[in-house]
């Protein structure tokens, strides 16, 4: 039995074990997906242990994605651009390869719902790690235009000066931007409580009627509810989660991930969690 797992702190809430194990089982691969809660002081040793042949690799989540970059032996150009590793693959020679599958995972989730990123004007809320991954993805895909709105404007400015796009404050001045936005992405950490929203929801009235609102939070949020009540298309973050996991699976196993199985298991695990 080979092992792969999730490195983070905490990790107990994660949906990854449910849909990754379902994928390994569907392909009859003798692999166990485990949860590896890892406090910061234990991260270096946890990653170093992956060199043992029993391990295929790992996923890495909050708060270790940035630090993991410095503990792998080689990181992809994409992981370096994103400044973060969410997937570690043990290579045959025992060296550890770091990749960022959040980036293609985000793009795959757009393609899956028929959005071609090269054709859309995007507004991203937030300037943290997730927003950075989204910006790297949009740049890879040749997105038409990107505006980053963040509570702390300086962080949005730093991000856009490095990765392209325009920085604006996250307040009522966003209305002008939203008038010419096709895709609004919430990449802030606001919304998990089901009671708060990253922006004044009346601002959604500025979006064109064909616009899509995409919340990286993988549950229904006030933002998505408000978008739907305006007749806008609303997408939650489960697709990105499943697709980043599918890309990780492909790297660990060299096999095509069973996407339908992963989707079904992820939805069931989310529903069970409530
Ligand atoms: P992060 O690095 O901590 O960044 C948090 C962002 O949220 C910052 O831009 C911060 O603004 C903003 N923010 C926090 N509190 C706010 C408030 N009260 N009002 C307005 N803005 C606020 O977090 P992250 O790693 O980027 O993660 C962001 C979200 O993306 C999380 O909910 C995470 O679960 C989700 N995510 C989903 C996926 C997926 O697969 N679906 C993948 C990755 C991440 P300041 O700069 O002003 O502090």
Residue-level pLDDT, tens digit, the chain, 274 residues? 999 999 999 999 999 999 999 999 999 999 999 999 999 999 999 999 999 999 999 999 999 999 999 999 999 999 999 999 999 999 999 999 999 999 999 999 999 999 999 999 999 999 999 999 999 999 999 998 999 999 999 999 999 999 999 999 999 999 999 999 999 999 999 999 999 999 999 999 999 999 999 999 999 999 999 999 999 999 999 999 999 999 999 999 999 999 999 999 999 999 998 7
In CATH terms, are 2-100+241-273 and 104-236 the same topology? Answer: yes
The ligand 1 atom at the shortest distance from the C-alpha of residue 125 is 9
Domain locations in the chain?
2-100+241-273, 104-236
Beta strand 212-215 with 233-235 is: parallel
pLDDT of residue 274: 72
Alpha helix positions (H), the chain: 16-26, 43-48, 65-68, 77-82, 102-112, 129-140, 153-163, 174-178, 222-229, 238-253, 259-273
Report whether CATH 3.40.50.300 matches the domain 104-236: no
Burial of 53 (0-12, 13-18, 19+ CB in 10 A): exposed
pTM reported for the whole predicted model: 0.97
Q: What is the dotted CATH code of the domain comprising 2-100+241-273?
A: 3.40.50.10860
Spatial separation of the C-alpha atoms in residues 217 and 182, rounded to whole Å? 19
Using a 6 Å CB cutoff, which residues line ligand 1?
62, 102, 126-131, 150-152, 155, 170, 187-190, 198, 216-218, 237, 240-241, 244
Cα(236) to centroid of ligand 1, in Å? 14
Cα(225) to centroid of ligand 1, in Å? 19
> Which residue's CA is the nearest one to ligand 1's atom 37?
216
Beta strand 121-125 with 96-99 is: unpaired
């Amino acid at each position: 039995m080979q092992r792969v797992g999730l490195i983070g702190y905490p990790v107990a809430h994660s949906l990854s074990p449910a849909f990754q194990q379902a994928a390994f089982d569907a392909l009859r691969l003798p692999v166990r997906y485990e949860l590896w809660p890892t406090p910061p002081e234990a991260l270096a040793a946890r990653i170093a242990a992956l060199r043992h042949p029993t391990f295929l690799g790992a996923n890495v989540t909050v708060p270790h994605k940035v630090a993991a970059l410095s503990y792998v032996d080689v990181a992809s150009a994409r992981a370096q651009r994103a400044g973060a590793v969410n997937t570690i693959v043990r290579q045959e020679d025992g060296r550890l390869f770091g990749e960022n599958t959040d980036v293609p995972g985000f793009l795959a989730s757009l393609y899956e719902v028929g959005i071609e990123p090269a054709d859309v004007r995007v507004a991203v809320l937030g300037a943290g790690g997730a927003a950075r991954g989204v910006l790297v993805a949009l740049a890879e895909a040749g997105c038409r235009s990107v505006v980053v709105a963040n509570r702390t404007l300086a962080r949005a400015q730093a991000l856009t000066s490095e990765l392209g796009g325009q920085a604006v404050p996250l307040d009522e001045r966003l209305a002008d931007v939203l008038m010419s936005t096709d895709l609004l992405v919430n990449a802030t950490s606001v919304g998990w409580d089901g009671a708060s929203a990253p922006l004044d929801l009346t601002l959604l009235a500025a979006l064109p009627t064909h616009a899509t609102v995409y919340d990286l939070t993988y549950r229904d949020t006030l933002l998505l509810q408000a978008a739907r009540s305006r007749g806008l298309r609303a997408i939650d973050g489960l697709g990105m989660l499943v697709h980043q996991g599918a890309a990780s699976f492909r790297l660990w196993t060299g096999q095509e991930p069973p996407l339908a199985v992963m989707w079904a298991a992820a939805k069931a695990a989310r529903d069970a969690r409530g």
